[in-house]
Amino acid sequence: MPTLFKTIALVGKYESAVACGSLTRLNAWLTRSGYEVLVMPETVGLCGAGSARLASFEEIGAQADLVIVLGGDGTMLHMARQIANYQVPLIGVNQGRLGFLADVSVDTMIQTLQEMLAGAHQIEERILFDCRVEDSDTQLLATHAFNDVVVSKGDMGRLIEFEVYIEGQFVYSQRADGLVVATPTGSTAYALSAGGPILHPTLEAVVLAPICPHTLSARPIAVNSHFEIEINLIQAADARVHFDGQDHFDLSVGQRVIVRRAVNTVRLLHPVNHNYYDTLRQKLHWGEKL
C-alpha cells in the first residue's frame, strides 16, 4: 500500500476529449497500484469515472493528498486557484508542449509518476495572490490569482488612468492601457510581454508592469512580495480587472483593486531532473541561431 500519497485526485482539461485517454489510463494504473482516486463530476461527464470516486473542489481540497492535472498551464492555474486554501500539492501532466507549470510529459507519464509518487520529486512553494475589489468601504469581490492581476481598458479601447499605492505610499499616477501585477510564476506571462523581468519562481518579489503607458519614463518595477498593492481607478470610459486571464470584473471610477500575498502558497511537485532554466530555454528559444 502506498504511504507517501494515499488519495489522489485527477483533473482533466475541461471539454477536452484529448485528455480523456490519458486520464482513463492513469486512473486504471493508480487504482491497480492501490491508490484511492477522486475525480470531478465534470471530468466524469466527459471521460467516465471507472472505479474513481466523485468529488467536488472542496472535497478534493479536504481529502486528497495530491492532485494530478492533465492539460496545460491554464488548467494548472485554474486548479491552483480553486484549492488554494487547502495546501494540496499539484503535479502537471502536459498534453502538448512543455509548459512552465505542467512539466510531466504525457509520453512518459506512468514511469515519471511512479518515481515521483515513490518520493523522487522536488517540492516547490510558489506565491499566490489574495485579491479584492472595493468601492468605498464595500467589498465587491474576493478571489485568488496565481499568475497575475491585470487592470486594463475594456472593449472601448481608450486609455485608463489609475493611481498605484504600495504599502499605503503613493507610487505614481499613470495613463496607460493598464497595469500587470504578477507573481514570479506570472513573470513569464503577460508581464513579460509588457517588458517586465523574469523572476525565478521561488523569489520573494512581485512585478508591476505598465501596459503601453502614455509616457516613455514608465518602467516595470519589482517589490517585496509582502507589500500590499492598491490600484485606484481615476478615469475610464470602460475598464476591468482580470485574474489569471480566467475571471474578470468590470470596474467603475472610484473603485480600487487590492493585491496582497496570500497566507498559503501553491505547492508544485516536479520530477527530480526538473530544471527551470531548461524550460526557459525551450519556451523562449534562448541560444537558437536565427
Nearest to 127 by CA among 222, 21, 246, 233: 222
- In the chain, what is the straight-line distance between the N-terminal and C-terminal CA atoms, in Å? 52
Task: Answer for the pair 210, 176: CB distance below 8 angstroms, yes or no.
Answer: yes
Q: Any long-range contacts for 57-60 (C-beta under 8 Å, 24+ apart)?
A: 57/82, 57/83, 60/9, 60/11, 60/86, 60/88
- Is residue 69 within 8 A of residue 102, CB to CB? The reply is yes
Residue 103: active-site member: no
Range list of H helices, 3-72: 18-32, 41-47, 57-63
At residue 87, what is the residue type? Q
Q: Which amino acid is at 283?
A: K
Under 8 Å CB-to-CB from 212, ≥6 apart: which residues?
A: 176, 177, 178, 194
Q: Which residue of the set 65, 73, 107, 155 is catalytic?
A: 73
Cα–Cα distance list, 251 to 3, 245, 254 (Å): 48, 16, 9
List, by residue number, the catalytic residues.
73
